[in-house]
Amino acid sequence: MRKRSEPHTFEQRLDEQRRRLEEELARLPDGGQREAVVARLEQLKTAAEMHGFLMLREAAAASR
């Protein structure tokens, strides 16, 4: 029987994806593909910021 891996949090998945894209970016020459990876990294940063904001609001609502 296969052992199930530990579930990963949203933050962990974002961080892993960011690391993979940064490694890919380091290998890419200037051009369209590189720009697409940069845009994806910006999207991940925005997603992480939004998630952090929503978690703070959720925590504040739970403490009321």
Is the confidence at residue 31, as pLDDT, over 90?
A: yes
> Is 38 part of any domain?
yes
Confirm whether 34 is domain-assigned: yes
> What range does the domain containing 36 cover?
10-62
Token code pair at residue 34:
């590189």
Q: What does pLDDT average to over the chain?
A: 91
pTM: 0.79
- Digit-coded pLDDT (tens) for 32-55: 999 999 999 999 999 999 999 999
pLDDT at 1 over 70: no
Confirm whether 41 is domain-assigned: yes
* 2 part of a folded domain: no
Percent of residues, the chain, with pLDDT higher than 90: 69
Question: Does a structural domain hold residue 35?
Answer: yes
Quote the tokens at residue 25. Answer: 């970016």
| 30 contacts 50 by C-beta, under 8 angstroms | no
- In the chain, the number of structural domains is 1
